[in-house]
Structure 1
Amino acid sequence: VAKWTGNDSAVDVLIRPDMIPRVTRFLREREVKYEVVIPDLQQAIDQENPIDEELLDELAGRK
């Protein structure tokens, strides 16, 4: 779990996919309200920064 931002009433956190069930259970057991804002951060990054196929072709075979 990585804390991103926070104030007196809210905090943003980044949670590894394999930890989601554990963190969700932890929050529910303590009746902590939460909202998933970005369900898959990597997918959001990939959509915002699509792969340049021409660049991939140019780099193919390089070591």
Structure 2
Amino acid sequence: MLLSHPALLLSYSALLLNDSSMLLSHSSMLLSHSSVLLLLCDSGLVINAMCAQTSHPKFSI
């Protein structure tokens, strides 16, 4: 049935392409969000390590 309607098939494949590009942009947004979260976690670890060092008696000023 779809083969007898090439316009339907083309529009359907265009919809699929559009949907997959939306999924790709969504996943790239998720990736950038998770990298921001990773950066925040890394900086939090660094800050925690610095606080642990400064509160340590060996490193007290």
TM-score by length of 2: 0.27
Q: Which fold has the larger relative contact order, with Cα–Cα distance below 8 Å and residues 6 or more apart in sequence?
A: 1
TM-score by length of 1: 0.27
**Larger C-alpha radius of gyration, 1 or 2?**
2
**Where is the strand percentage greater, Structure 1 or Structure 2?**
1
